[in-house]
Structure 1
Amino acid sequence: MKKQYFLLLLPFYIFAVFYLAITTPLSPHEAKLLYISHNVASVLMHWSSGLLPGFIGLRIFFVLLGFLSIWFFYKLSRRHFEKRGDAYLATFVFMLLPGIITASTLANVGIIVLPLVLLFILLYEEKKMIFLPFIMLVLFFVHEASILFFVALLLYGIIYKDKRLAIAASAFLLVFIYLAKGIAIGGRPSGHFAEIFGLYAALFSPLVFLYFFYTMYRILLRGKKNLIWYISFTAFAFSLLLSIRQRIYLTDVAPYVLGAVLLMIDQYNQSLRVRLPQFQTWYRRGFYIVTASLILSALLIIFHKVTYDMSSNPQKHFAKRIYQPYYLAKELKSKNRHCYDTKNQRERYQLRYYGIRSCRNDR
C-alpha cells in the first residue's frame, strides 16, 4: 500500500471514529462500567465526563488510546517488514478491524490493555528491557485476563531460553495464583464453544477471522514462532478451551490476539511472493475479496445508526441494545414521564444516564 493512499484515508478514519464516539448512545456495557464497576475503565469514564459534555465526554480517553494503539502497531510493523508499503497495509487492515473501531469508540478495558501489549512487544524487540517490568505490573493490576499474557511470556521464555522473561512471567503467575486472581473458571459443558467463533468473527470480520485461524495453525505446524504468535495463540487457544465450559468475553482475549494481523500479512506475503507473477492471480483475488469484506464490516459499524433506523425489524439488529433505551428515553421525556421500570439491569442504568429513574424507587 502506498503512503499517499494511507495518508489520504487516515483523516476519514479519524473523522469516523470521532463521529461514532460523539453520536453513538450509551451501550449496556458502558452503563455497567459507569454505575457498577470500579475498574480502571470506569475511573477513566468518570474523569473524562467532567472534561467534555455528552457521549464523547465518557469516551475521549478511549478514543485517544485507540489512536495510540494504531501508532504502536505501525511502529511494530516497520520493524517486521522491509517494505514500508507492507507496514502501511498491515496498519490499514488493523485499524479497519471491527474490534478496533468498536473498542476505540466505546469505553472498555480492552483498548487500555491493547497499547500496553503492543508497547511491550515493541520494547522487547528493541531490547529496552528496563521498561518491561513496569508494563507487566500495570497489566497485572489493570486486567485480570492478563494471566494469559504471562502464560505466553513464560512459554516463550522457556522455549527461547530467555531466563529473565521466564522468571518475571513466573513471578506474576505465582502472584495470580496466590491472590486467586485471573479469569474465573467454572461452569459445565455448554453451548459457548460455537458462540466464541461468532465473537471472533465479529472481532476480525468473518473472512479475516478464517485467515487468522489458518495463520495460527500454519505457524503452529511449521512457521517461525515469535513473541506475537505466542501471545496471540495462547489467548486464542485458552479462549477456545474455556468456552467449552463457560462464556468468554471478548475484552478478555481481544487485546492479545489483534496483534496477529502482522503475522497474517506476513503469511500472505510469503505465499504470494514465492510464486511467479502468472501464478499470483488467485492469491491477489482472494486478498481483494477478504479486504472488501473487511471494508464492508467497517462500513456497517460506521453507518450502524442508518441501518438501524431503516431496518424493518429493529429487534433483530445488532445495535438494538444501544438504541432501544435511547429512543425509549426520548419518547418518555416527550410525554413528560421521568420514570420507567424494566427487568433488565443494564437497560435500567442506561435509562438512568438519560434522566429516567425507576418508578419503584420513587414510591
Structure 2
Amino acid sequence: MKSQTRSFFWLFSLFFLSLGALLWLLSTLSISYNEAQEFFNPQHFCGFVSSYSAKILGQNDWSLRLPFLLLHFCNAFLMFYFARDFLKHSNDAVFCALLFLLLPGVNAVALLVSNSGIVICLTLILCIWVQKNNTIPYGLLLIMAFVDRSFALVFIALIFYGIERKQTLLIFLSLGFFALNMYCFGLEIGGHPRGYFLDSNGHLLLIFSPLLFLYFLYTLYRYFNQSKRPLVWHIASVALGFIWLLSLRQRVQTEFFAPLLILAIPLMVNLYFSGLRVRLPQFRARYTIPFLATFLVLLLCSGMLFLS
C-alpha cells in the first residue's frame, strides 16, 4: 500500500509540473488557420468539442484548448493505469507516464485542436479492456469506426491479432469495422509516385526524440520474436509499417497515425528494465549510460519545444 501511495504521489507531482509548463505554453499560443477552419466549420470530433467548449466558456484561447488539455492528462493517467498491470513494478508505470508527458510529439498536440488525443484515449481503453478481461469490446470498436480515420489501422492490427490467436469472429468483425471506417473517412492514396520516406522518418524522430525512436524500433524487433505478442505491439507495428509503406510513394500525414505509436511506451520500458534488473550492479553500465544519453536528448527536445 505504501508503494502504491508513493507511486500516485509521484504521478500527480508529474501532472502538476506538466500542467504548469503547458499552461505557460498555452498563454503563448493563438489559433492557427487550420484550427480556425475546424472551429468555425466543424467536421471532426475535435471541431465539435472545441465549438461546444467555446459556447460554454466563451470564445478565447483557453476555452478553445481546455478540452484537449484535459484529455491529455486523462491519457497520461490511462497510460499509467495500463502500464501498472502490464509491468511488474508500480514505479515502472510512473516512468511510463513520465515518458508520455515528456514526448515532444505528445506535448505538441496536447493543446492543439486535433483528434490525436481521442485516438490515444480510445485505443488505450481498448488495450486496457483486452488486458484485464481477455475479450474484445466490440461496442467500443463500433464507436471508433465513426470517430477518426486513424482507427482503420487499429482494425488492421486486430485482424493480425485475431489470426495469431485464431479468433475467427474477431477477424471478420474487424474487417467489417475497417470497411465501415473506410466508407466514412476514406484514405487518400493518389498523385504522382514520389518518395517521402526520409521526411516521414524525420517527423517520427521529432515526435519521439532521435535516440528514443531508435530504441522504439529495437523494441518492436525484439517483441517480433515472441510467440504471442500483445495487442499494443500489433497496433504500433501496423501503424509504423503503414507510414513507411505509404511514404515510399506519397507524403503521409504522420499526425493522423503517429499517436498509435505512442502505445509502445510500456513495451520499451518493460524491455529496458527487464534487461537491467537481471544483471548485477557492476555490469549495468552498458544499460545506464545509453539510458542517460537517451533521457537527456529527450529532455533537450522537449525543452526546445517549450522554449522555441
Normalised by the length of structure 2, the TM-score is 0.91
**CA deviation digits over 1:20-44, x for unaligned, max 9?**
2343122343133224551111111
Which of 190, 215, 227 aligns to 2:194? It is: 190
Which of 83, 97, 108 aligns to 2:103? It is: 97
Which of 67, 86, 108 aligns to 2:92? It is: 86
Moved over 6 A (4+): none
Alignment partners' CA distance in 2, 1:44 and 1:9: 26
1:72 maps onto 2:78 in alignment: yes
Which of 273, 287, 290 aligns to 2:291? It is: 287
1:271 maps onto 2:275 in alignment: yes
Q: Give runs of aligned pairs for residues 1-363 of structure 1, distance below 5 A.
A: 3=7, 5-52=10-57, 53-127=59-133, 129=135, 132-176=137-181, 179=183, 181-222=185-226, 225-304=229-308
Alignment partners' CA distance in 2, 1:134 and 1:68: 21
Contact 1:207 1:290 in 2 (8 A): yes
**CA deviation digits over 1:214-246, x for unaligned, max 9?**
111222245752100000000110110001111
Contact 1:146 1:182 in 2 (8 A): no
Alignment partners' CA distance in 2, 1:29 and 1:261: 29
Alignment partners' CA distance in 2, 1:221 and 1:128: 22
Contact 2:119 2:150 in 1 (8 A): no
Alignment partners' CA distance in 1, 2:168 and 2:133: 14
| Structure with the greater alpha carbon radius of gyration | 1
How far has the Cα of 1:166 moved from its partner?
Answer: 2.2
Would you say how many aligned residue pairs link Structure 1 and Structure 2?
302
Unpaired segments ≥5 residues, structure 1: 305-363
Q: Which stretch of the first structure deviates more once superposed, 53-62 or 184-193? A: 184-193
Rate the CA distance shift 1:120–1:11 in 2: closer, same or farther, 3 A. same
Q: Using the aligned pairs only, state the percent identity.
A: 30
Rate the CA distance shift 1:191–1:230 in 2: closer, same or farther, 3 A. same
Rate the CA distance shift 1:28–1:221 in 2: closer, same or farther, 3 A. farther
Alignment partners' CA distance in 1, 2:36 and 2:117: 17
Alignment partners' CA distance in 1, 2:180 and 2:52: 30
- One-letter identity of the residue aligned with 2:247: S
Alignment partners' CA distance in 2, 1:194 and 1:297: 19
Contact 2:26 2:111 in 1 (8 A): yes
Contact 1:22 1:54 in 2 (8 A): no
Alignment partners' CA distance in 2, 1:47 and 1:232: 32
**CA deviation digits over 1:36-85, x for unaligned, max 9?**
55111111121112233421111111111111111111110111112111
How far has the Cα of 1:89 moved from its partner?
Answer: 0.8
How far has the Cα of 1:176 moved from its partner?
Answer: 4.2
Rate the CA distance shift 1:227–1:266 in 2: closer, same or farther, 3 A. same
Rate the CA distance shift 1:274–1:184 in 2: closer, same or farther, 3 A. same
How far has the Cα of 1:252 moved from its partner?
Answer: 1.8
Alignment partners' CA distance in 2, 1:246 and 1:140: 25
How far has the Cα of 1:189 moved from its partner?
Answer: 2.9
Alignment partners' CA distance in 1, 2:154 and 2:55: 33
Alignment partners' CA distance in 2, 1:292 and 1:6: 20
- One-letter identity of the residue aligned with 1:42: G
Contact 1:23 1:55 in 2 (8 A): no
Aligned-partner SS, 1:261:
helix
- One-letter identity of the residue aligned with 2:163: I
Contact 1:145 1:182 in 2 (8 A): no
- One-letter identity of the residue aligned with 2:278: V
Aligned-partner SS, 1:108:
coil
Alignment partners' CA distance in 2, 1:161 and 1:247: 35
